Structure 1
Amino acid sequence: MDEMILKLFISSFLFSVILHLSVIFLAKKYRLFIDSEMDKKPQKMHTLPTPRAGGIGIFAPFFWGLVLFYLYHPQPLFLGLFVGGSIIFMSGIIEDFNASLNPKTRLILQCLGAGFFVFLSESYLSNLGFGIELPAYIGIPFSIFAIVGMVNALNIIDGFNGLASGITLLALVCLYFLLPHSLIESCLIVILIASVLGFFIFNFPWGKIFLGDGGAYFLGFVLAGLLIHITQTPLNGETTPNISPWFGIALLIYPFWEVIFSIYRRKFIRHLSPVQPDKLHLHTILYKRFLKHNAKTSLFIVLSVSPFMILSTFVSSNDLFLLLISLAFILIYGVIYSRSTLFARKKR
């Protein structure tokens, strides 16, 4: 099994590297997927025109693996990830083509992709931990909401070289070491790790290519889908291992809380639309006020968040500990954010 996993990793990594090299070459030659110099998005933190189609080099190897696995080991999870992920990826890659979708259309596509995943994979949030069970008519829409939330959470933190992909890699490695390596889900995770790593080496630290909306949406979708599946669905006929539904929140508490806090900040403090982008995310503030360097900002945040992610993996079956880890992060985040904005006010 270990030899097969190594072959999967190497082949997926090489496939991803070749695709990313091809995308970088073709994008620059034919001006495809290139950030416009006139693009004034608040989250834009680079000045040189750069291809933003890194999601293609992650999407293709993973979906090739899904097709092969489904042919030899047909499982509802693979079909759910394939159909739902294709719709989610499409909702982002259209943006990367400079053919902008309005927020309502994007949200509808994301809900559709999440809905297909829940329906086809037969995985949804029914157990919330602490003995709380949800009926299907509540658990299914709640699951769709959670998936769409994580899709946008990964996109929110995709502002610096290696930030979103670094958090994703760390989360996937934690998942891999948590699951028995004999599970087919572990093989899927290996393919995704290799695919993301193939992107990461071109993105960090120099930013030769970006995830784009397609890549960020897709990674958020797959992470949310896998976490729902492994915390709610018996694996190979048994609950192996016993993973708390709070594990997903604690593992991805940084993007999870970033999107929750961003909605609160925009809606209730600044009285703006919750979907309107701004320059007030924690990573942007840390970059502008203190670090002044794209890649160093990503490295600082990933290293700061990693203890919470690793600790949550060690206590993955304990609802209370995972809740406390999440609350500790939220408290520290609040202190850092308030101190950083106070520093900004004093500078004025």
Structure 2
Amino acid sequence: MLAVSVAAFVASLATCLGLIAIAPKLAFQKAALADTRARQASHVRPTPRVGGLSLAAAALAFLALFERGGFSDPSGLILVSALPIFLVGLKEDVSRNASPKVRYGAAILSALLAFWLLGLWIDRAAPFWLTAMLAFAPVGVAITVFTTASYAHAFNLIDGLNGLCAGTSVLISAGLIAVAMQSGQDGLVPLLLMMIGGLAGFLVWNFPAGKIFLGDAGAYTIGHVLSWIGVALIANSTQVSAWAIMLIFFWPLADTLFAIARRVGSGESIDTPDRMHFHQLVMRVLQLTILGRNRRELANPLATLALMPLIGGTVALGVVFWNDSRAAVLGLIGCGAAFVLGHARLRRLARRYRKPGTVEALKSKERKTAEKPVEKAA
């Protein structure tokens, strides 16, 4: 099975190299320059956001060399179902004119297509009354479609630092492999090995230097594929706990839910970008306390390194409790509480070390100056 990862790695690595080489000559380079000025930007140099194409190359290599079942096999069907969100995401990466609603609609379309092709949904979860509700197909399918589409969007939200989304996805893929092997579902392992190989080839160029980003096509597609592998693991084995799979996916889930709660609480639209994601706070605190305010290029990959053990810890808990719903729920509660407390602590640190010379303070001073009436000369 190692050959699957090697082939995906080579295909992804070579594709990224080609994209980086031709990026300065392409029209989307202007849009990449605009990304560095965005409110939530974590980078200082314009960089192509078409890394999703490297994963597409890895998937094509996988289908051509190893997927003998073709498009009748679950792995092939999951990849086919990702086409709507991949294409809409790629449109956004190149032209920047696909709104969040359009992208989320494409994620729902891909989820519906996956359900239609696979005939699977999350049909049980402890306690028993939840299983009874999910077993009723209209309810179970609706919840599954909403959940997987939301996970696809969640992976896009954590694509903010060099290596963060791809590194998180490698850890989640490894966790799903462990659950697949423990539950006797080895047929899904090659697809997960392809994901790891393709992501590894991309990471060579994305971490630590950030020469290319996943973009919406890459992040949404990763979220879709991995979440539907999770659905398949739950649906095909009565041993696999849905809560344990959720624990494996904890980090993108927690970041998204907390972002929604934060924006609703402040009276903003839930799709309003901000700079308060957990990873952004970690990077800011590193700058303010250790590295220096102008060291964003160094703080960016270091923040990812700081987060990887935390993300890996939640994945490990999901693997350990793969068939124990009660323990998995307790793990989710504990990790959720730690996430919220950690976020609050980081906010306090950022506020404590912030000085009047920060960008926010300067902007506030400029606004106050602009509001003062201009005195006429005597």
TM-score, length-scaled by structure 2:
0.84
Distance 2:194 2:32 in 1: 32
Q: Does 1:8 align with 2:4?
A: yes
The answer on 1:283 being equivalent to 2:279 is yes
The residue number in structure 2 matching 1:226 is 229
Q: Deviations over 1:275-310 (max 9, x none)?
A: 111111111112112355000001111112212211
Gaps of 5+ in 2: 292-298, 355-378
Give % identity. Answer: 26
Deviation at 1:35? 4.5
Alpha-carbon shift at residue 69 of structure 1 (Å): 5.8
Q: Say if 2:281 is the partner of 1:245.
A: no
The total of aligned residue pairs comes to 337
User: Partners of 1:35 and 1:294 in 2: how far apart?
Assistant: 21
Residue in 2 aligned with 1:332? 338
Could you tell me how far apart the structure 2 residues matched to 1:33 and 1:187 are?
A: 35
2:136 maps to 1:128: no
CA RMSD, 1 decimal: 2.0
Query: 1-side partners of 2:84 and 2:53: how far apart?
Result: 14
**Amino acid paired to 1:174:** G
- AA aligned opposite 2:138: Y
1:140 corresponds to which residue?
Answer: 141
Establish whether residue 318 from structure 1 lines up as the match of residue 324 from structure 2.
yes
Q: Which of 84, 87, 97 is equivalent to 1:87?
A: 84
Of residues 205, 211, 217, the one that matches 2:214 is 211
Compared CA separation, residues 129 and 62, structure 1 to 2 (3 A): farther
Within 5 Å, which residues of 2 pair with 1:88-237? 88-131=85-128, 132-133=130-131, 134=134, 135-180=136-181, 183-234=186-237
Kindly name which structure, 1 or 2, has the bigger radius of gyration based on alpha carbons.
2
Higher alpha-carbon deviation: 122-131 or 132-141: 122-131
Provide Cα deviations, 1:217-248, integer angstroms capped at 9, x if missing partner.
111111111001111125xxxx6xx2111122
Matching residue of 1:42: 39
User: Structure 2 counterpart of 1:299, which letter?
Assistant: L
Is the Cα contact below 8 Å between 1:171 and 1:252 reproduced in 2?
Answer: yes
Measured at CA, do residues 316 and 29 of structure 1 come closer, stay the same or move farther in structure 2, by a change above 3 Å?
A: same
Contact 2:33/2:47, CA 8 A, preserved across alignment: no
2:51 maps to 54
Residue 12 of structure 1 contacts residue 195 of structure 1 at CA under 8 Å; is this kept in 2? yes
Q: Which residue type is aligned with residue 264 of structure 1?
A: A
The answer as to whether partners of 2:107 and 2:224 remain within 8 angstroms in 1 is no
Structure-1-length-normalised TM-score: 0.91
Please give the alpha-carbon distance, in whole angstroms, between the structure 1 residues aligned to 2:249 and 2:24: 34
Q: What per-residue deviation string (whole Å, max 9, x for no partner) do you get for residues 89-133 of structure 1? A: 112111110241122222221111111111111111111233332
Give 1:194 shift: 0.4
Counterpart contact for 1:171–1:309, Cα < 8 Å? yes
Distance between the aligned counterparts of 1:35 and 1:9, measured in 2?
A: 32
**Shift in CA distance, 230/66, structure 1 to aligned 2, threshold 3 Å:** farther
